Each structure stands twice: as structure tokens, then as C-alpha cells.
């Protein structure tokens, strides 16, 4: 699979597409006109059209150090 532009990995692309597909299957309207009927394909078409944006959260918060060694 070729790396999609704007994504740092294919894994992130799949995660973004899957989340959007769940939104579509839950009733969210498609953001692009497409002949596709399946939520996964609609999500892929939306990503290809540049209609989907994502934010990468930095969950790795630094651990506070009290100066004591264990």
C-alpha cells in the first residue's frame, strides 16, 4: 500500500478512515459526492478529497521527578 500524502504511516491512515467510517455508519452525512455506498469507501473518498483533518495528541506526558532515586 502506498503511503497517502499527509499521513506519517499507513496505520494512521487506516485509523482515521475507520473512525470516519464509524461516524458515517452512525448517521453523519458524507462530505463528498460519491457513488460509493459502503462507509469505509466513502471515508477513503473523503480523505482523498482532503475533507478530513486529524490531530495527533501527545499522550506521553513527562513523569514528574522528585529527585529521589529508586
| Residues of the chain scoring pLDDT < 70 | 1, 59-70
Given 3-state DSSP classes, what are the helix, strand and coil percentages for the chain, each rounded to the nearest 5? Answer: 35, 0, 65
Q: Measuring CA to CA, how many Å separate 38 from each of 30, 34, 52?
A: 11, 10, 17
- Between CA 23 and CA 29 the distance in angstroms is 9
The reported pTM is 0.76
Q: What is the DSSP letter of 42?
A: H
Q: Where are the domains of the chain?
A: 11-48
The confidence score (pLDDT) of residue 63 equals: 59
Amino acid at each position: 500500500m502506498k503511503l497517502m500524502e499527509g499521513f506519517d504511516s499507513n496505520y494512521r491512515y487506516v485509523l482515521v478512515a475507520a473512525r470516519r467510517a464509524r461516524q458515517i455508519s452512525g448517521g453523519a452525512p458524507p462530505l463528498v459526492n460519491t457513488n460509493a455506498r459502503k462507509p469505509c469507501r466513502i471515508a477513503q473518498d473523503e480523505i482523498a478529497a482532503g475533507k478530513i483533518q486529524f490531530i495527533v495528541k501527545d499522550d506521553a506526558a513527562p513523569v514528574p521527578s522528585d529527585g529521589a532515586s529508586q
